Structures are given as C-alpha cells and as structure tokens.
C-alpha cells in the first residue's frame, strides 16, 4: 500500500462526508435513522477489536489477547474508569504471556 493510495482514500472519505452534508443540508433525519447512525462507530470498533483479537495472520486462533479482552470487557461492564480498563486488559494479557 503506497502513500499515494492512502492519501487518495483520505481525500475520497472527506469528499463523501462533505457530500453528505451538502445533500442532507439542514434537513432533520428521522429519529430511527439517527439512532442507527449513532451505533455505527461502536459496531465498527467492535468488529476491528474482534478481528485483531482472534486472528493471527491468515488464521483464527485464541491466545493471551482473548484473556485481555475478556478482562477489559468485564472491567467495562463494571463501569470502571477507562484507564483502569486499559491497564487491566494489558496486565492480564502480559500475565498470561508470562506464564504460558
């Protein structure tokens, strides 16, 4: 992947966002669509996390990252501060890698 390709993708993405603002303008979108649009970033981030946690190259697998993810999910569910979630997940992953 070249820098020219990355730059062109960035320009196209910015163009799509600007086009959406121009087309939609000041019109109000229906509430159902607006609620769905608010969920898209969380869904994309969850998909990326799952892909990076359970793949190794071109194959699927479970390793210490899965334990770190489980600990981070548990800490998030308990509504702990963000830094605690990160440190707990990283710490759990490091401990599993240390002992396995």
Q: Would 14 be classed as within a structural domain?
A: no
Residue 93 in domain? yes
83 pLDDT band, cuts 50/70/90, is: very high
The single-letter DSSP state of residue 30 is P
Q: Cα(21)–Cα(85) distance, rounded to whole angstroms?
A: 36
pLDDT tens for each residue of 9-65: 999 998 888 887 777 777 787 899 889 888 999 999 999 999 999 998 888 889 999
Specify burial of residue 99 (Cβ count, 10 A radius: 0-12, 13-18, 19+): exposed
Residue 9 included in any domain: no
What pLDDT sits at residue 1? 72
Distances (CA, A) of 63 to 34, 41, 45, 98: 38, 26, 20, 12
Domain count, the chain: 1
Print the domain residue range for 52. Answer: 27-99
> Is pLDDT of 80 > 90?
yes
């Amino acid at each position: 992947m070249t820098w020219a390709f990355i730059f062109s993708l960035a320009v196209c993405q910015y163009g799509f966002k600007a086009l959406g603002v121009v087309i939609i303008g000041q019109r109000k979108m229906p509430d159902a669509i607006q609620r769905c649009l608010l969920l898209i970033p969380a869904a994309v981030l969850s998909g990326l996390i799952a892909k990076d946690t359970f793949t190794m190259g071109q194959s699927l697998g479970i390793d210490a990252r899965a334990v770190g993810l489980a600990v981070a999910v548990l800490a998030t569910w308990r509504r702990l501060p963000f830094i605690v979630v990160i440190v707990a997940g990283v710490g759990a992953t490091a401990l599993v890698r240390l002992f396995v």
